[in-house]
């Protein structure tokens, strides 16, 4: 079986160009951080960018927070190696935003201040609800972040052989801590925006280069996919139609469960939700979701061109021999645009990871400082002015150090794909039921919220531990993603917990939440400049 793993080192010159481009990105973001730090005075500026981000800016930032390296490199690679099934991933990532748009974005902006838990605590007893919501936020953010960090380190080894795994992990970790500690939400937002613009430009350019090879004929392009030859595991040559479903996924229930996690989990991802506090009002939150949907949709449609394009122009064997799944897009860039373009796409991939981890860090530290420290430990009052921001900065530092440590201990070879799936599953099973029921169900109460969050969190983690990713032989739970079972369990926990207890104060305050969520009366205002 002729499989070579990136033995042929790319020329040293590529290395230098890629490094230079990446350093240019880092320099630009540090300049932004410097200017943001001067503006980041006060809680609202630090946690919510003063609520002065515009609709299209926040749309780009949401897209930047969302389109991770797993999407860019991972989906491109899956399509390049297995065809159509990889493209099915792309679909769920966009459709998920309908849940965000219809159900969560506007009520959240109207009723909350800095975190997802604000919405839940509005009419429920704040301390137990915030403690649970904070735990689930930290779980989602930290799991997701470790996945990104390990991915970053592993990627560096392929893209820039001169830099070691540890150096890459430390570099990414230090940068994200610098953005978040000094620049707060303003810097994080601009890092996301620049990254989204870079990623979109890179993808558009790559797609155009692919289509140029087919004289810009869509029909010619798809015709070329009907017979892709590759070497099978037993060494025989096989020719497959890459537009045929079923080349990668054998169990349809896996796809349905993953679809549930994506479509309902996105609306429960804390780092996406807190972005809606950065705009002046709910109407701008709405327009930012629509901007994000345009950008995210275009991006995922383009995975057709560079994913299938890599299959058609490079072939699965070539990709397997040059770094495997994650390298399909960069290798395609090298083949079509030369070493300079390869360097550019590599730099874009780094920028992507950096922006996503910065977004995760600020969501984890905001939740710890605002929900846990101020509201649970200090009963909702700052003992000293500026304390909340100070705690958030310290948390960001600790979170950064922790994830660097864990990523280095785990090492570059550990399979982290399940961590991202887990993050979405926890968001769908714990956060979403609590959010939806607190907005729409008058009877909902504190016990219900705590049970829903707890059952959703525990069941998704437990089911992952007994899933095929963890138990290689005879897994107790047959599906890779737990959402199909854990999400109904989360709802069930929330509903049963509610029905077994009575909490008149929660029902009384429902009217207030209903009015506020639907009219914006009393919502947090943007700060004066």
Q: Are 33 and 182 in contact (CB under 8 A)?
A: yes
Using the minimum distance from each CB to other proteins, give the nearer residue, 317 or 514.
514
3: left (phi over 0), alpha (psi -120 to 50) or beta: beta
Query: Residues for the chain: how many in total?
Result: 529
Taking the complex as a whole, the smallest distance from the CB of residue 81 to other proteins amounts, in Å, to 17
When binding is defined by CB under 8 A, the residue of 10, 259, 323, 497 that contacts other proteins is: 259
Q: Which of 1, 7, 88 is nearest to 327 (CA)?
A: 7
Q: Does 243 bind other proteins (CB under 8 A)?
A: yes
Q: Does 283 bind other proteins (CB under 8 A)?
A: yes
**For other proteins, which stretch binds (CB under 8 A), given 2-10, 220-228, 393-401, 465-473?**
220-228
Q: Does 107 bind other proteins (CB under 8 A)?
A: no
Q: Are 264 and 432 in contact (CB under 8 A)?
A: yes
Q: Are 286 and 54 in contact (CB under 8 A)?
A: no
51: left (phi over 0), alpha (psi -120 to 50) or beta: left
Using the minimum distance from each CB to other proteins, give the nearer residue, 260 or 463.
260
As a three-state string, the secondary structure of 348-389 is HHHHHHHHHHHHHHHHHHHHHHHHHHHHHHCCCCCCCCCHHH
When binding is defined by CB under 8 A, the residue of 103, 197, 398, 466 that contacts other proteins is: 103
Q: Which of 367, 365, 371 is nearest to 121 (CA)?
A: 371
Using the minimum distance from each CB to other proteins, give the nearer residue, 250 or 472.
250
Q: Does 290 bind other proteins (CB under 8 A)?
A: yes
Taking the complex as a whole, the smallest distance from the CB of residue 98 to other proteins amounts, in Å, to 5
Q: Binders of other proteins among 114-153, rule CB under 8 A?
A: none
Q: Does 95 bind other proteins (CB under 8 A)?
A: yes
When binding is defined by CB under 8 A, the residue of 97, 214, 350, 373 that contacts other proteins is: 97
**For other proteins, which stretch binds (CB under 8 A), given 137-145, 204-212, 250-258, 328-336?**
250-258
Q: Does 286 bind other proteins (CB under 8 A)?
A: yes
User: Under 8 Å CB-to-CB from 454, ≥6 apart: which residues?
Assistant: 132, 430, 493
Give the number of residues in contact with other proteins, rule: CB under 8 A.
54
C-alpha count within 13 angstroms, C-beta hemisphere, residue 104: 33
Please classify residue 494 by burial: count the beta carbons closer than 10 Å to its beta carbon, then call 0-12 exposed, 13-18 middle and 19+ buried. Answer: buried
Taking the complex as a whole, the smallest distance from the CB of residue 401 to other proteins amounts, in Å, to 33
Q: Does 294 bind other proteins (CB under 8 A)?
A: yes
Using the minimum distance from each CB to other proteins, give the nearer residue, 9 or 223.
223
CA distance 184 to 179: 7
Taking the complex as a whole, the smallest distance from the CB of residue 241 to other proteins amounts, in Å, to 8
CA distance 172 to 154: 12
**For other proteins, which stretch binds (CB under 8 A), given 8-16, 86-94, 202-210, 269-277?**
86-94
CA distance 207 to 476: 42
Q: Does 338 bind other proteins (CB under 8 A)?
A: no
Contact set with other proteins (CB under 8 A): 84, 87-88, 90-92, 94-95, 97-99, 101-103, 219, 222-223, 225-226, 241, 243-246, 249, 251-253, 255-256, 259, 263, 283, 286-287, 289-290, 293-294, 297, 300-301, 304, 380, 511-512, 514-516, 518-522
């Amino acid at each position: 079986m002729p499989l070579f793993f990136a033995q042929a080192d790319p020329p040293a010159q590529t290395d230098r160009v890629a490094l230079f481009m990446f350093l240019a990105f880092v320099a630009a973001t540090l300049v932004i951080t410097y200017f943001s730090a001067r503006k980041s005075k006060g809680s609202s500026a630090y946690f919510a960018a003063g609520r002065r981000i515009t609709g299209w800016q926040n749309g780009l930032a949401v897209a930047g927070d969302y389109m991770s390296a797993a999407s860019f490199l991972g989906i491109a690679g899956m399509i390049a190696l297995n065809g159509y099934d990889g493209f099915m991933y792309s679909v769920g990532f966009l459709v998920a935003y309908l849940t965000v748009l219809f159900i969560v974005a506007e009520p959240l902006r109207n009723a909350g201040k800095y975190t997802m838990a604000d919405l839940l605590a509005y009419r429920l007893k704040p301390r137990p609800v915030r403690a649970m919501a904070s735990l689930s936020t930290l779980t989602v953010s930290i799991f997701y972040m470790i996945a990104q960090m390990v991915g970053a380190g592993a990627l560096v080894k392929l893209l820039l052989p001169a830099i070691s795994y540890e150096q890459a992990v430390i570099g990414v970790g230090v940068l994200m801590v610098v953005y978040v500690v000094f620049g707060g939400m303003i810097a994080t937002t601009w890092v996301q925006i620049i990254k989204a613009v870079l990623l979109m430009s890179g993808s558009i350019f790559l797609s155009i280069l692919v289509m140029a090879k087919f004289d810009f004929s869509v029909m010619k392009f798809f015709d070329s996919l009907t017979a892709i030859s590759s070497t099978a595991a037993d060494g025989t040559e096989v020719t497959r139609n890459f537009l045929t479903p079923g080349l990668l996924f054998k169990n349809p229930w896996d796809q349905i469960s993953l679809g549930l996690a994506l479509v309902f989990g996105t609306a429960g991802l804390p780092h996406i939700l807190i972005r809606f506090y950065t705009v002046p009002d709910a109407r701008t939150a709405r327009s930012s979701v629509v901007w994000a949907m345009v950008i995210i949709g275009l991006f995922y449609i383009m995975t057709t061109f560079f994913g299938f394009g890599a299959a058609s122009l490079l072939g699965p064997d070539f990709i397997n021999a040059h770094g495997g799944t994650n390298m399909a897009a960069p290798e395609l860039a090298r083949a079509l645009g030369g070493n300079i373009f390869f360097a550019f796409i590599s730099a874009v991939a780094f920028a992507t990871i950096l922006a996503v981890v910065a977004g995760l860090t600020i969501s984890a530290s905001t939740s710890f400082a605002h929900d846990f420290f101020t509201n649970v430990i200090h009963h909702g009052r700052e003992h000293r002015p500026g304390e909340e921001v100070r705690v958030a900065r310290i948390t960001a530092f600790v979170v950064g150090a922790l994830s660097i440590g864990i990523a280095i201990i785990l090492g570059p070879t550990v399979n982290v794909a399940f961590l991202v799936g887990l993050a979405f599953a926890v968001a769908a099973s714990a956060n979403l039921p609590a959010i939806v029921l607190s907005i729409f169900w008058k009877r909902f109460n504190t016990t219900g919220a705590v049970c829903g969050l707890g059952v959703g969190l525990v069941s998704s983690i437990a089911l992952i531990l007994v899933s095929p990713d963890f138990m290689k032989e005879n897994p107790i739970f047959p599906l890779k993603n737990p959402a199909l079972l854990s999400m109904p369990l989360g709802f069930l926990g929330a509903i049963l917990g509610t029905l077994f207890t009575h909490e008149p104060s929660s029902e009384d305050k429902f009217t207030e939440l209903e009015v506020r969520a639907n009219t914006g009366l009393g919502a947090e205002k943007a700060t004066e400049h």
